[in-house]
Amino acid sequence: MHYQLFSPQTLTRRSWLGITSASTALGLLAGPPAYATPQQTPEKQLIVHGTTPMNAEPALHHLVEAWETPVKHFYVRSHAPVPKVDLNTFRLKVEGLVENKLSLSIPDMLRRFPQTEVTATMTCAGNRRSEHSLVKKVGGVQWAAGPIGNARWGGVRLADVLRLAGLKNEAKHIWFESIDEVKKGGRTFPFGASIPIAKGLEKTALGNGTLLATTMNGAALPPDHGYPVRTVVPGYVGARSVKWIGRIVVSDRPSENHYVANAYKLISNGDAAEWAAAKPIYSFPINSAICSPAANARIATGKITVHGYALPPGHSEQTIERVEISADGGKAWHRAELLAPPREYCWCLWKATIPISATTKQLTLRAIDSAGTVQPETVPWNLKGYLYNAWYRLPVQVRS
């Protein structure tokens, strides 16, 4: 499958209708409740954890090939099959605690609101879960360090749409509801999320804020990534950036959707009281990973060049300050070179040349941000393996 390239400056109503025509030819458009089988491009290079729904991540060495992650190397996390969409009838609804309810077609939305771009890193709350399972097995997709990617997202600001709708004084949270159909526990319901109203209205000094995105890296959103429109919430875990969004509800409380009320929470024992008391996960923590060499690689003594990524916490104006790597379990740390200027809500790619001795058993990695936050050596275990961000430890085999 190929996608015609558009920039937000040129993605007009006419060009969007061109996408519609192309999508029709590809069989992506149809009336609900039919669903499309995820169509993977031949060049897509992902490690597939499941196909119904699609969940896949890239091999780690691909992540350090470009600061802007190409779609073929961008992880896919879904809770339901990709829905088919009829753009002739599709409308994005805005309702709840607003003065004026809205019903927007995609061309209408692109015509009525200024278009912009935000570059932001998306990461799954379960990133590095497989490492968490080494402590004690946890459920869910056993992700390595690959469910993360940095993309240039284009669309319109959620804040602009909400201002047109007119927020009532009681408004405190914004709910997002997909048009997909999750089947769980004998029920069928849409994937959903919510964010505090302040996050939805955010515009940082660098111009970042929550988007209703229609493009990814200058091209129309691929089906697996939310075509025709998704939310992108910079700094928040991927579960809060809802794909295939069809409904926005302004409320005085967090969403009652399963994926807010009953999932994506940090809990240790899983009893009902703990679930009810736990707050939803929003921001991602500082994190880092080694992407090359691979785990258990055979390396020689002397010097080796190591590559990877580091992610600052999901807070505005916090960036990666430095990345440090050790070949002796943390006794001596070597500073890595950051390969691009650090930015809020974005990862840094880095490289480091470090000495390897005959006694080296593993490479250890940590990151430090501009506020002085140090990636922790260990983290508490949690039942779902969310937000794992302990020092990254890569086993290696040194040739004698």
CATH number for the domain that contains residue 113:
3.90.420.10
Tens of each residue's pLDDT in the chain, 400 residues? 222 222 333 344 444 444 444 443 333 433 332 223 334 444 678 999 999 999 999 999 999 999 999 999 999 999 999 999 999 999 999 999 999 999 999 999 999 999 999 999 999 999 999 999 999 999 999 999 999 999 999 999 999 999 999 999 999 999 999 999 999 999 999 999 999 999 999 998 888 999 999 999 999 999 999 999 999 999 999 999 999 999 999 999 999 999 999 999 999 988 889 988 999 999 999 999 999 999 999 999 999 999 999 999 999 999 999 999 999 999 999 999 999 999 999 999 999 999 999 999 999 999 999 999 999 999 999 999 999 999 999 999 999 7
- Considering the domain architecture, whether residues 270 and 329 belong to the same structural domain is answered as no
Decide: residue 296, CB within 10 A, 0-12 exposed, 13-18 middle, 19+ buried.
exposed
- Considering the domain architecture, whether residues 387 and 248 belong to the same structural domain is answered as no
Percent helix, percent strand, percent coil in the chain, to nearest 5: 15, 35, 50
Q: Name the H helices within 68-226.
A: 106-112, 129-135, 158-165, 197-201
Decide: residue 400, CB within 10 A, 0-12 exposed, 13-18 middle, 19+ buried.
exposed
- Res 207: pLDDT: 85
CATH number for the domain harbouring residue 308: 2.60.40.650
Which 8-state DSSP code applies to residue 286?
A: P
Written as six digits, the tokens of 372 are 């002085």
Written as six digits, the tokens of 239 are 């579960």
Residue 4 lies in a domain: no
Whole-number Å distance between alpha carbons of 166 and 255: 20
- Res 270: pLDDT: 83
The residues with which 182 forms a beta bridge, in sequence order, are 189
- Considering the domain architecture, whether residues 314 and 264 belong to the same structural domain is answered as no
- Res 56: pLDDT: 98
Residue 2 lies in a domain: no
* Domain of 123, in residue numbers: 13-277
- Considering the domain architecture, whether residues 59 and 202 belong to the same structural domain is answered as yes
What are the distances in angstroms from CA 368 to CA 19, 232, 350? Answer: 43, 25, 13
Residue 149 lies in a domain: yes
Whole-number Å distance between alpha carbons of 238 and 242: 8
Whole-number Å distance between alpha carbons of 312 and 370: 9
- Res 206: pLDDT: 84
Residue type, 5: L
- Considering the domain architecture, whether residues 262 and 310 belong to the same structural domain is answered as no
Residue 155 lies in a domain: yes
- Res 43: pLDDT: 60
Number of domains forming the structure of the chain:
2
Strand, helix or coil for residue 254: coil
- Considering the domain architecture, whether residues 196 and 249 belong to the same structural domain is answered as yes
The residues with which 104 forms a beta bridge, in sequence order, are 92
- Considering the domain architecture, whether residues 109 and 164 belong to the same structural domain is answered as yes
Whole-number Å distance between alpha carbons of 341 and 116: 21
- Considering the domain architecture, whether residues 45 and 165 belong to the same structural domain is answered as yes
- Considering the domain architecture, whether residues 214 and 171 belong to the same structural domain is answered as yes
Residue 305 lies in a domain: yes
- Considering the domain architecture, whether residues 293 and 266 belong to the same structural domain is answered as no
Residue 96 lies in a domain: yes
